Amino acid sequence: GENVEQHPSTLSVQEGDSAVIKCTYSDSASNYFPWYKQELGKRPQLIIDIRSNVGEKKDQRIAVTLNKTAKHFSLHITETQPEDSAVYFCAAKRAGGSQGNLIFGKGTKLSVKP
Partner 1 sequence: DVKVTQSSRYLVKRTGEKVFLECVQDMDHENMFWYRQDPGLGLRLIYFSYDVKMKEKGDIPEGYSVSREKKERFSLILESASTNQTSMYLCASRDSGRAYSEQFFGPGTRLTVL
Residues near partner 1 (CB under 8 A) are 6, 9, 32, 34, 42-46, 49, 51, 89, 93, 99-107
- Tell me the closest approach of the beta carbon of residue 81 to partner 1, in angstroms: 23
Question: H or E stretch including 33?
Answer: strand 32-38
Name the 3-class secondary structure at 3: coil
- Provide the minimum distance between the beta carbon of 79 and partner 1 in the complex, in angstroms, as a whole number: 25
| Nearer residue to partner 1 within complex by CB, 94 or 112 | 94
Considering the complex, state which of residue 100 and residue 114 has its C-beta at the smaller distance from partner 1: 100
Are 85 and 93 within 8 A, CB to CB? no
Rounded to a whole number of angstroms, the minimum distance from the CB of residue 14 to partner 1 is 25
Q: Do residues 21 and 78 touch, judged by C-beta distance below 8 A?
A: no
| Measured distance CA(29)–CA(34) in Å, rounded | 15
